[in-house]
Structure 1
């Protein structure tokens, strides 16, 4: 297949960003309802929809997700007619989290209902930064492109950050909250990002799914810094969720709260998408943790101080 014949549908934002970073953005013909970066992809046909209302309080969204999963219903649905019309040569999806996007099983089932069975499905399942580089290589190979140059550029930025942090005398203990009601601590690649940004991650485990967290566990860890990054939330939604969190009686007992070291981030754009912009996320954390070293390039649009 020649490059000019490529017709790519991405069903998860991180995959859309990977395809674009590889220089294949012009061959995208469809996207998920959540794909919004780079900005030009917003003009593409939408191939998915959510079966829940994401503009609700954290507890309500949690209950909706739980009910859908317990009922064996999908959180997202595919537009089969749109898939047929777009005739993709490749579909990029994921098998990492059924709460994050359309599942691999749903995509495979949908393709059985489309007469053209030649579509290649590329399924991503990253849980570490190394997996993201591997995913970029897999996508590049499938599309006939080379990922080496862009991956080297990203890794160079990581090395530059490490060089600036090599003489650190203090690394703050950091808790990254991925959901506020109930509490969830960020796992997978987020503890790696915290470490690379000059912090000491607590509670979350590198390479493992984000896990539920009790207030007792958070109080015992008593981090120096709390970074709120609710999955799928922008800055405004994160601010609202953190305001609700701050009403809990245990909130004022936390060192980070007492020292005004609570930060809001755009989790949707920077932490929930295992793609090339995770390097941006590392740089964002570095400027929160060590403002005397890093200028506030992401402040105002990527993060805000809560107090």
Structure 2
């Protein structure tokens, strides 16, 4: 039985969804789903303080990147003790998880054997499913992977099918960071389209990008979704004032029409793994509340109340 270390939350969720949670021997410091994985040894850690407000975190990350330094480090001694056969890592974003280069360097320094490196690199929904099948093949679970993928695609089709012929789609803006503002990219605009909306700030498969308040105001979306990377609903609530106290905030159509929604970006939208299906369900509940109800309201998303605006 292979010993698996996953250094990215989406990879951990894929391994577990494929029925191999009992083979996991290590995880990243951010892996917290499904229940039980937090008991495994953590093999990574941040090189910056992750507490504080959005602006402070942004400045710390930017300072590291400007010096070509990593935002995370591999705990090489922990990795050496675990002696994994397979390591799941990523090449998509150096700000989201430990980089592929860091993992390679750590292996050279600590392990005599050479474990198989599985690098996830999705930038769109199809890429996520390709990553899933890659993980499945590496663990000898390709048939299980195909069956799991068929289930996911069926759930997606049940939402996307009725929305494909919509003549008028609500315009949607998705914020991946709060200060400064960042528009969500990669798979998020595609999920918006599948759920029956029109993304006005992000393009499918393109990286998330910084925007100004003036850009947001000019787009003036029908619906505004707040989904900061790494932030739970409670964490968003702590910092809502950075949005609601801006002079352009009350001028937004979504604010005036009570169409602002907070979503758990940490557990759903910013994890390119199995729960992107739940992310699509969240969007469907928000865009079409009379047609879809999956039970995500309250823990996966909520509307912004009148007193909060």
What is the TM-score with the length of structure 1 in the denominator? 0.96
Bigger Cα displacement from structure 2, 134-143 vs 184-193: 134-143
The separation in 2 between residues aligned to 1:52 and 1:135, in whole angstroms, is 29
Give the C-alpha shift of residue 115 in structure 1: 3.5
The answer for the alignment partner of 2:25 in structure 1 is: 29
The separation in 1 between residues aligned to 2:95 and 2:8, in whole angstroms, is 11
How much is the aligned-residue C-alpha RMSD, in angstroms? 1.2
1:169-222 residue CA offsets vs partner (Å, 9 max, x unmatched): 642110000001101000000000101111111110110110111112111110
The separation in 2 between residues aligned to 1:260 and 1:191, in whole angstroms, is 22
The answer for the alignment partner of 1:51 in structure 2 is: 47
1:232-266 residue CA offsets vs partner (Å, 9 max, x unmatched): 00001112233321111111110001111100011
Q: Is 1:130 aligned with 2:126?
A: yes
Give the C-alpha shift of residue 114 in structure 1: 2.1
Give the C-alpha shift of residue 166 in structure 1: 5.3
1:92-113 residue CA offsets vs partner (Å, 9 max, x unmatched): 0001000000000000000101
Gaps of 5+ in 2: none
The separation in 1 between residues aligned to 2:139 and 2:226, in whole angstroms, is 36
Gaps of 5+ in 1: none
Bigger Cα displacement from structure 2, 96-105 vs 290-299: 290-299
The separation in 1 between residues aligned to 2:112 and 2:135, in whole angstroms, is 21
1:287 is paired with a residue of what secondary structure? helix
The answer for the alignment partner of 2:194 in structure 1 is: 196
Bigger Cα displacement from structure 2, 168-177 vs 209-218: 168-177
The answer for the alignment partner of 1:239 in structure 2 is: 237
Instruction: Check the 8 A contact 1:239/1:306 in 2, yes or no.
Output: no
The answer for the alignment partner of 1:253 in structure 2 is: 251
The answer for the alignment partner of 1:90 in structure 2 is: 86
2:3 to 7, 13, 16: 7
The separation in 1 between residues aligned to 2:259 and 2:239, in whole angstroms, is 17
Change in 2 beyond 3 A, CA 1:166/1:130: closer
2:13 is paired with a residue of what secondary structure? helix
Bigger Cα displacement from structure 2, 168-177 vs 139-148: 168-177
The separation in 2 between residues aligned to 1:296 and 1:118, in whole angstroms, is 43
The answer for the alignment partner of 2:169 in structure 1 is: 171
Instruction: Check the 8 A contact 2:25/2:82 in 1, yes or no.
Output: yes
Instruction: Check the 8 A contact 2:189/2:203 in 1, yes or no.
Output: yes
Instruction: Check the 8 A contact 1:187/1:211 in 2, yes or no.
Output: yes
The separation in 1 between residues aligned to 2:294 and 2:250, in whole angstroms, is 27
Instruction: Check the 8 A contact 2:107/2:114 in 1, yes or no.
Output: no
The answer for the alignment partner of 1:213 in structure 2 is: 211
The answer for the alignment partner of 1:152 in structure 2 is: 150
Change in 2 beyond 3 A, CA 1:189/1:166: closer
Change in 2 beyond 3 A, CA 1:303/1:245: same
Give the C-alpha shift of residue 279 in structure 1: 0.6
2:101 to 105, 113, 124: 105
